[in-house]
Amino acid sequence: MTVSDLTAAVTTPVRRARTRHFVMTAPHHFAVEYAINPWMDPSVPVDVNHALRQWEALRDTYTQLGHTVEAVDPVAGLPDMVYAANGGLIVNDRAVVANFTFAQRAAEADAYAAWMAAAGHRPERTHHHNEGQGDLLVAGSTVLAGYGFRTDRRAHDEVAAITGLPVISLELIDPRFYHLDTALTVLSDGAEDGEVTLAYYPPAFSETALTQLRALFPTAIEVATADAFVLGLNAVSDGRHVILPVNATGFAEQLREAGFEPIGVDLSELLKGGGSIKCCTLEVHP
């Protein structure tokens, strides 16, 4: 073993997984019938059976890692309902239901509110637009909240009041990264190693947001354009294993160097709707 190997072994953190509770909705009704983000092109055909196989591979990855996966029944006429993360935020024994910006997705809120109520959560709604875990990511005892495209900045105060957690507002400025979960992922929430660890794509954020991120998370991983442009940051971590789009190879190498174990999953068919791993995964936080 060389000196550099010894140095790496000493400085690379030991990452620990924690069992998670995920909620997913199968893409039985998936389609791209309209364009409400730059990734969507209704002229490009969608193979629903292929999308379902890819979704099942993601679900099976979670279960093989020991995580709980709960299913919400898809509703005909709601082609984007597969992107379960957008349905709301469940944390601190409180449930926030999405209030979608676009009319095409509005009815998804009722479907996810019904599931929350049936699961024993008490769903609460915001007056202003919020798109659930698309823009509301739990980072330790804080909620990182995106705004600029889908979630109204004023909803952040409502989310703070409902959850009882402080909310840090982060402005998004690139329409390709229209939700926070397309530009930032929480790799470790602090429960495993005492430190919140993030990865993000700097050009997606305003200068003010970047200043906040760099001050609060100085050890965060900054991801390159090639990985961001395959939605590589639309990933899910259990504190050790990071499930990410298979084409985000540079990000995967950064994760290995930081002590994480990347697991690539191909969700290319669902990318046609502007979503990937995290978009399809609503986490129920304790």
Q: What does each C-alpha distance from 16 to 94, 106, 141, 267 come to in angstroms?
A: 26, 38, 18, 26
Give me the pLDDT at residue 13, please: 87
- How large a percentage of the chain has pLDDT more than 90? 92
Contact 165, 142 (CB under 8 A): yes
Please, what sign has the CA dihedral across residues 31, 35, 37, 38? positive
CA distances from 205 to 29, 130, 141, 210, 280 (A): 33, 18, 22, 6, 23
Query: What per-residue confidence (pLDDT) applies to 195?
Result: 84
Q: What are the pLDDT digits (tens) for 60-102?
A: 999 999 999 999 999 999 999 999 999 999 998 899 999 999 9
Rounded CA-CA distance 18/283 in Å is 13
Question: Reduced to 3 states, what is the DSSP secondary structure of residue 276?
Answer: coil
Question: Looking at the DSSP assignment, which residues form a beta bridge with residue 171?
Answer: 147
Please report the domains of the chain, with CATH numbers, ordered by start residue: 16-283 (3.75.10.10)
279 catalytically annotated = yes
Q: Please answer whether residues 133 and 88 qualify as being in contact, where contact means their C-beta atoms are separated by less than 8 angstroms.
A: yes
Neighbours of 252 (CB within 10 A): 22
280 is catalytic: no
Q: How remote is the C-alpha of 59 from its chain's centroid?
A: 15
Looking at 129, 179, 241, 280, which residue is catalytic? 179
10 Å Cβ neighbour count for 218? Answer: 7
| Nearest residue to 67 (alpha-carbon basis) of 207, 185, 189, 237 | 237
Decide if pLDDT at 4 tops 90: no
d(CA 3, CA 40): 49
CA atoms within 13 A on the CB side of 101: 18
Residue 7 pLDDT > 70: no
Question: pTM for the whole thing?
Answer: 0.94
Task: Decide if 191 contacts 18 (C-beta within 8 A).
Answer: yes
Q: Tell me which DSSP letter residue 205 carries.
A: B
The active-site residue, picked from 121, 129, 156, 279, is 279
Q: What is the per-residue pLDDT across 224-256, written as a single tens digit (0 to 9) for each?
A: 999 999 999 999 999 999 999 999 999 999 999
The whole-angstrom separation of Cα 86 and Cα 179 is 9
pLDDT score recorded for residue 221:
98
Given this model, what pLDDT does residue 191 score? 61
DSSP code of residue 274 = T
Mean pLDDT of 157-183: 98
pLDDT in the model for residue 189: 85
Q: Return mean pLDDT, the chain.
A: 95
Amino acid at 225: T
